[in-house]
Amino acid sequence: MAKVVGLGGVFFKAADPEALGAWYAQWLGVPVQHPYGASFLPGDVPAGGCSVWAPFAADTAYFQPSLQAFMVNLMVDDLDGALAQVAEGGAQVLPDRQEAEYGRFGWFIDPEGNKVELWEPPAGLPGAADE
């Protein structure tokens, strides 16, 4: 049987894709180098990082205050620094933070109203390829 072997990308509509891409490049260092966005190669992902695919219940409150039916999670190397940068760029940084054995999390609303989750993986995450 054929099977999925990884997350191939995140694709979503934007009112102004070029401006939103430029915002993410400026405030989070997203390497927007293609007309369609950015590519993250396997060697760019830190040890302990991974991609997650997770359907949520239709009535979840987890994506609030965004009204979108999706939420993007971006892996970062410095959660506090990344949240400070997006705040400087005009994003609404949400006050909640979460710490768990699998990393630290924070959230913001981007210029187009999308809720974005930032994840700083811990060193030595269980199940990481380098263990």
pLDDT in tens, 94-129: 999 999 988 999 999 999 999 999 999 887 655 444
Q: Sorting pLDDT into bands at 50, 70 and 90, what band is 71?
A: very high
As given in the structure block, the two tokens for residue 33 are 């180098």
Q: Sorting pLDDT into bands at 50, 70 and 90, what band is 5?
A: confident
- Just give the CATH number of 48-120: 3.10.180.10
Q: Which residue has the higher pLDDT, 53 or 97?
A: 97
Q: What integer pLDDT is reported at residue 126 of this predicted model?
A: 52
Every domain of the chain and the residues it spans: 48-120
Strand order in the sheet with 115-120: 72-75, 115-120, 103-109, 92-100
SS3 97: strand
Q: What integer pLDDT is reported at residue 63 of this predicted model?
A: 93
Percentages helix, strand, coil for the chain (3-state, rounded to 5) are: 20, 25, 55
How many whole angstroms from its chain centre is CA 85? Answer: 14
Task: Kindly report the pTM of this predicted structure.
Answer: 0.84
